[in-house]
A and B are shown apart, each in its own frame.
Chain A
């Protein structure tokens, strides 16, 4: 597969990562867009109490189902809550969910992948069969089943998503560790009598983490989407938590008449996930040129 590199001659020589990154960002208007949107979403989430004109959970029957207008930019829902404020606060939930799920999945997946790749043999075979089992469920099905069992709630939904997500990281890391394992410096460490656990953590892990990080950055968006889907079918976030998927679900019974109740939270999901995906794609290009030519 090295033919690719030979063909890459048309590209300008790579003058180093940072410059290459800048080059890629500049040459990629999509990425500029993604970065801008995500920054806005993160700022919105952080500064929500100062930006949001209303308390997102404050019920006000006097202003029920108001269409978008000056004092309610995105209108209000059936309890008279300001949708603009709710969309802003919802960013907090979605970003937290994305971070927590990916983080938790990494936390479970990394040790398993590390041990499987480094130890190899039967341990590897066993651990990989375990991940096979988790991967045998079509997307979303396992989280749905687990959440159904644990009981509805955002916490349980996040846990369920992480449980069904970690095998991806285990596998990617294992693949990377398998290669790193054969490197000279690992052999050297082993020869010097360094304990395996140290070799794994100090040497094998840092040198094989990049593809995992790259994948994680790209999964962030999908996680947000999956969590919103769980909320939508009623097993994710519960009121009074402000969550976009739940907002769409709640307005499902009235969106044909009151379109704004579903449109804005739905668009919020779309735009955020889009930005995150675009960015994830870009990050992969920048971070890991090695990734592209390895397969």
Chain B
């Protein structure tokens, strides 16, 4: 059939067919036709360009009271009880918890938010909060003890996101409108928990009734300074001033916050330079220098509670050999990675607890980059030459992981160890790492605490798990478990003793080489220099837009 053959042939055409037929007759009609079309086209395009140029000129806009933040992903979970990711940028501005945690070094550990005062019983099991009066949610519902109780109970019941911070809660009572009593099974730092960046926000009971689906259409009902005005999926979230905010408003405050989704860091950098964005969330290491030179911009490194390590699988050959693991830890170029790969936005780690968190110990004995020592340990380990091969999995989209891994690969080669790189999406590599048969020898991991406690790392990453979840070293050490369990129970009553035990536990992990602890992460930030009032707080990966202004 002719049609079919033409379709087939012309489908091939894009990939290389140019007709070879020659026909050189004195034809002009096609020519005329072609010329006419071209002429019309050129005319049309120039007219359009002219029109655009005329109109585009006055399109430059004033943005006095708007602040724009470039997010590297869209909001995924709008329900504050379930959110556990980038949403924090929206959450801290739209919702409020009972308490805010203050940055380390502040005079007071907490700033009252929806609670004005609080106290705990001597045994640390009963916590009483006095709540702020006259606060209403964005939907007009009043905030009171019943609403607070309902919020926390909802989170606990939903079992999503960070709900487990409340796992030890026994009962919540609301004896009167302004009093909330939280009773726990064991002594717990409820003040810390109530200031968690996830899972501790107060939500309107009326909104809560509408359920997760209502939230995920881009709705919110908190008590915070901003309410959600618009959500264009994949493009932007716009927050608008909540005029009734109990904290009040001044002329300096921003009326409007645009959270713009910009996936690519190069694009973010350009938007910052052009003034289109006031803040960006991804600052490539290589751009820091050129941004710093720009007078209109402020760049900086701020300490965080995030740290990165490569967990070493202690059950899988050849890394089931302790000396071999120790050798790997000596093959890591700690200075090189933090200085060059992270471009200074990290410091070499000492143990699994970052230096910015209580419970850290800078006197731990940690391995250093030492090729000779590594070679010696490998020789002592008894691992045969042919078996000196390890696999290394990391999140493929992370330049830092990738470049660190490439550097490690190069150094390991010098010591006769072959490293196979296995980048992938987090979901995939995590799933593989959980199962011993598919697990890599080395697994990338960046950890941060849900609320400020060292136990988050020690329990989350290294306590024995029957079925591995995040203990991707597959580390199982009864002595370590005992130590950490004891320390957790002491956190409320005897913090010094708890810290001593945490120190011991950390040294144990280093000696067992359960991971290459390599970097305490600093966050690279860049913003317009005209933004004032910014306070850095590692407890929240977010900007409190109500507290900043344009100078």
Contact = CB atoms under 8 A, between A and B. Distances in A.
Nearest to B405: A239
A152 B402 CA distance: 15
Contact of A254 (B286, B336, B423): B286
A284 B266 contact: no
A171 B8 contact: yes
Given A218-B15, A239-B402, A285 B20 contact: yes
A151 B396 contact: no
B21 interface: yes
Given A78-B286, A256-B266, A284 B20 contact: yes
Interface in B5-27: 5-6, 8-9, 11-12, 15-25
B16 A284 contact: yes
A71 interface: no
A8 B21 CA distance: 8
Contacts of A285: 20
A135 B270 CA distance: 40
Given A78-B286, A292-B19, A215 B12 contact: yes
B21 to A, nearest CB: 6
B287 A57 contact: no
A219 B20 contact: no
B12 A64 contact: no
Interface in A228-279: 234, 238-240, 250, 252-258, 277
Contact of A59 (B9, B20, B399, B410): B410
B16 A281 contact: yes
B428 interface: yes
A234 B396 contact: yes
B124 interface: no
Contacts of B424: 151-152
Nearest to B20: A292
A128 to B, nearest CB: 10
Interface residue tally on A, bucketed by range: 35 or more
A293 B19 CA distance: 10
Interface string A56-97: 011101001100000000000011000000000000000000
A57 B266 contact: no
Contacts of A257: 286-287, 290
Contacts of B9: 295
B17 A151 contact: no
A285 B21 CA distance: 10
A168 interface: yes
B69 to A, nearest CB: 19
A91 B397 CA distance: 24
B423 A238 contact: yes
A61 B340 contact: yes
Contacts of B407: 59, 79
A117 interface: no
A239 B421 contact: yes
Interface residues of B, number: 44
A293 B290 CA distance: 60
Contacts of A10: 22, 24
B340 A219 contact: no
A222 interface: yes
A219 B16 CA distance: 7
B396 A61 contact: no
Contacts of A250: 399
A11 interface: yes
Interface string B264-300: 1110011000000000000011110010000000000
Contact of B423 (A59, A239, A295): A239
Interface string A153-190: 00000000000000010011001000000000000000
B406 A79 contact: yes
B390 to A, nearest CB: 15
A169 to B, nearest CB: 11
A15 to B, nearest CB: 18
Given A152-B396, A256-B270, A257-B287, A8 B22 contact: yes
A253 B407 CA distance: 20
Contacts of B340: 61, 64
Contacts of A61: 336, 339-340
A109 interface: no
A258 B336 contact: no
A240 B406 CA distance: 7
Contact of A65 (B6, B12, B18, B286): B286
A58 B18 CA distance: 43
B403 interface: yes
Contact of B16 (A11, A58, A218, A293): A218
B409 interface: yes
Contacts of B406: 57, 59, 79, 239-240
Contacts of A234: 396-397
Contacts of B287: 253-254, 257
Contacts of B421: 238-240
B16 A57 contact: no
Contacts of A192: none
Contacts of A57: 406, 410
A64 B343 CA distance: 11
A292 B20 CA distance: 6
A280 interface: yes
A253 B397 CA distance: 12
A172 B8 CA distance: 9
A177 B21 CA distance: 24
A11 to B, nearest CB: 7
A138 to B, nearest CB: 11
B284 A222 contact: no
Contacts of A136: none
Given A253-B287, A256-B269, A257-B290, 18 more contacts: A4-B21, A8-B22, A79-B403, A79-B407, A135-B11, A218-B16, A218-B17, A222-B16, A234-B396, A238-B421, A239-B421, A250-B399, A253-B265, A253-B266, A256-B270, A258-B286, A289-B20, A292-B20
Smallest CB-CB A-B distances: 5 pairs: A218-B16, A61-B340, A292-B20, A253-B266, A253-B284
28 contacts: A7-B22, A7-B23, A11-B22, A57-B406, A65-B286, A78-B286, A152-B424, A175-B8, A218-B15, A219-B15, A234-B396, A239-B402, A239-B405, A239-B406, A239-B423, A240-B409, A240-B421, A253-B265, A253-B286, A254-B284, A254-B286, A257-B287, A258-B286, A280-B16, A284-B16, A289-B20, A292-B19, A293-B21
Interface of A: 4, 7-8, 10-11, 57-59, 61, 64-65, 78-79, 135, 151-152, 168, 171-172, 175, 215, 218-219, 221-222, 234, 238-240, 250, 252-258, 277, 280-281, 284-285, 289, 291-293, 295
Interface of B: 5-6, 8-9, 11-12, 15-25, 264-266, 269-270, 284-287, 290, 336, 339-340, 396-397, 399, 402-403, 405-407, 409-410, 421, 423-424, 428
